[in-house]
Each structure stands twice: as structure tokens, then as C-alpha cells.
Chains A and B, each alone.
Chain A
Amino acid sequence: MRIEQQPAFVLHARAYRETSLLLECLTRDHGRVGLIARGVRRERTRTPRALLQPLIPVRVGWNGRGELATLTQVEAAASGFDLDGDALLCALYLNELVLRITPRQDPHPQLFADYAETLARLAYGEAQAWTLRRFERDLLAHLGYALVLDVDGDAGAPLDPERDYAYRHEHGPAPWRDARDGVRLRGAALLALARDEMPAAEHLSSLRRLMRAVIATHIDGELRSWSMLA
């Protein structure tokens, strides 16, 4: 299978053998793919090594089928996102999340668009926590794990913004009973995420706990970036 000019982002690159790199890329039309970039760590190489890094919009070509294909071409699609400081740590978190939660060769063009949009928001300096929560919500939806955020999972009644809820896995919000229910959230926090309106700060932190609990059930473990993001 020969692919050319496929819009992509490198999620992770690691050294492989003497002069090669193993890349995990998120592509628009082929989902996450594993690619070998042969010989690019040599001093003289025709492949621009600087492009084979995370957070730069590139177009890639590859040849081969199966788990790992061979990179045949890479060129810049646009300038890289100018991320620094905490925004950069957020972007590394996005990469870890996407790499751990998406299967290889499972295309989600909208996920690719959302990923690029999220990097742009981080680069523009939009509120980081809220930007990440929006991405996580949409990512889960693209992968078929969409959260129920506006109605009670049992009764199907609209959520009361003033009441406390627990989020039951694969079930949805239910009225909060006690600590065994897990993450406790105000109805207003869930509704804000459902309506895509930025909630108050205390609701943002409860949404973060909710997302971590939900993501943990899908990736079978924890993300390392969680210990780095406050």
C-alpha cells in the first residue's frame, strides 16, 4: 500500500537502531499509524529531521502494510505550533492520551481536525484545563465512548444544575449517594461540558477528576502525564 501527501502529526518519535526513528503518527485518513523513518538520524540526510517531531503539521507518505510501514516522504504542511511552558506540557499530554487510547489504523478524520484545533487553542493561550476537557469529551465521542452529560442515566430526566451527581461507568449521571460512587460533580459542571460553555473553576477541577476516571477505564491504567500536570 502506497500513501502520499497524507496530513499528519507525529505523536512520538524514538530512536531505532543506529540511524533510524520509529514514529507514531496521527494521520487524517488512516488514524494512528506506526512508521519507520530509515536513516534520518545520520548527519547527512535528505529527510528534514526537524519535521519528524511532535506538534508540527506535516504531510507524510509511506509504503508498506501491517503494523509498521516505511516513511517515504515528509514535508511541512504549515509552521509548527508555538507552544511553550505549561501549554507544551498540555500538548505532550494530548499526545500520550491519543497514543494510548486510539487503536492503530482506525481513521477518525474529525479527531484529526479536533487535535489540530486543540493545539491551536493551546498556542493562542486559551484556558488550558477547559481546552483539554473539550478535546477529551470529543475524543471519547469519536471513539464510540461518548459520555451522557445532560440527562440522568436512570430516569432520563434533565440534570438539575444545583444537585450533586455521580458518574457511573457506561451508565451516565446518577444522583450522588456517598463516597463509594466515585467522582462527585455538580449538575452545572456536567451541563457546562454538554453545552460547551466554560464552567466555573471549581467545576473544572471536578470535570478533570471525572475525565481521568473515565479515561483510566479505557486505557487500562494511568497516563504518565497526569503526574506532571497539576
Chain B
Amino acid sequence: MSSPLLNELIDALRCLPGVGAKTAQRMAFHVLERDRAGAKKLSDRLAAAVERIGNCTRCRTFSEDAICSTCASPQRDPSLLCVVETPVDQLAVEQATGYRGRYFVLLGRLSPLDGMGPKELGIDLLAARLAENEVRELIIATNPTVEGEATAHLLSQIARAAGVRATRLAHGVPLGGELEFIDRGTLAHAFGGRQLIEN
């Protein structure tokens, strides 16, 4: 190709997940041939987002302000703090439950092999938050993976040190599932965590 700028654009598009050489090429030709206005808008929004979206200083989720709207909201119960791995997990909890407390986003999980340790997860920030004595319950909503469990252990130790009650999301049989097809680990957890039927 004779245009170095075009080649650079194709290369740059490949930073997106799931976009390989061919897709990047198709995207670049599409915007140049058919949708220059759309491309201008995309480049403006992308530049603005990268420039202005940072992390909330309280909960570490994405935010344009120093303190995100969830942390700033007076409607939220400050005595409940839900710890999630990523902003996407926060969104999932927010959409699925009627949770009205606050969040803390780790932006990862404890995984030595990926270079994620307590420092990278902002554990010191969380410990400082618990030391403010406002939080009564720490809801640990890390994923039920090996790394998520290790992270949950670390979080429960911090909660204990601060004298805060720590709870963990239940593991169990998915709604509409069938026992026959559930893996052993999940079924064992569901069985171990069975609950009394209140009459």
C-alpha cells in the first residue's frame, strides 16, 4: 500500500480485542470509503475518553471525576462495601441485584503468574477505607475461580484485621440447571452450602 498513514491506521486498529489483520483492514477501508463523519466522531470520543476517564480515588472504578457518582451518591448505604474484580462485574451486580451499597473495584485478581499482587489490587486503599470505621459488612464478590478464591482469602484477612464482617457470594446450581450436568465442584459447593427452608 502506498499510503503509510493507512498502514499505521490498520496497525493501530489491531489493538482492539478480536481484531486481526484482515478485520482491521476492512474497518480502515470502510471508514475512509463510506463513513468519514463516523470516523471523526469515533476519533474525538476515543481521544476524549482516554484523556478524561480516570479511576475513582475511593473505589477505583472508571470515572471522569476524582470521586465517581456511586461513591458520591448520598442514596447509597456507606456501611455496605462490595468488592468486585472489574468494572464489568460491578455493572453485572448493579443490574442483577437491588444492591444499594457501595463498591470497591480491584481491577484484577490475585495472580502471581500475571504479576497481580496486593499492591496492584489497591489493597492498601481498601484497608484504609475499612479503617475509617464506616463499613460494617464487606461483601466479597470475586469470581469463583482459584485466583478469585485466593483474592477472597486475602480480603477476608483484611476485613478481620479491621474488625469488619466479611461475606462471600454463594456458589450453587444455576437457575434452570439440571444436577446431572453440573460439574462436581459446583455441585459439591452447592451441597455443602445448602440452606434451611424457612417455613
Contact of A53 with B145 at beta-carbon distance under 8 Å, contacts A76-B183, A79-B184, A88-B150 already known: yes
5 CB-based A-B contacts, threshold 8 Å: A80-B185, A84-B149, A84-B153, A92-B150, A224-B113
Does A66 lie at the interface of the complex (its beta carbon under 8 Å from any beta carbon of B)?
Answer: no
- Collect the chain B residues with CB atoms within 8 Å of residue A93's CB: 112
Does A50 lie at the interface of the complex (its beta carbon under 8 Å from any beta carbon of B)?
Answer: yes
Contact of A88 with B117 at beta-carbon distance under 8 Å, contacts A48-B183, A50-B186, A56-B185 already known: no
Does A45 lie at the interface of the complex (its beta carbon under 8 Å from any beta carbon of B)?
Answer: no
A225 touches B112 (CB 8 A): yes
Query: Beta-carbon contacts of B10-51 to A below 8 Å, as 1s and 0s?
Result: 000000011000000000000000000000000000000000
- Collect the chain A residues with CB atoms within 8 Å of residue B188's CB: 79
- Collect the chain B residues with CB atoms within 8 Å of residue A3's CB: none
- Collect the chain B residues with CB atoms within 8 Å of residue A11's CB: 113
Does A14 lie at the interface of the complex (its beta carbon under 8 Å from any beta carbon of B)?
Answer: yes
Does A144 lie at the interface of the complex (its beta carbon under 8 Å from any beta carbon of B)?
Answer: no
A228 touches B118 (CB 8 A): yes
Partner of A88, one of B17, B18, B146: B146
Report how far A85 CA is from B110 CA in the complex, Å.
13
Partner of B183, one of A50, A54, A224, A225: A50
Report how far A95 CA is from B185 CA in the complex, Å.
20
The closest CB in chain A to the CB of B149 belongs to A88
Partner of A14, one of B110, B114, B117, B150: B114
- Collect the chain B residues with CB atoms within 8 Å of residue A85's CB: 153
Does B115 lie at the interface of the complex (its beta carbon under 8 Å from any beta carbon of A)?
Answer: yes
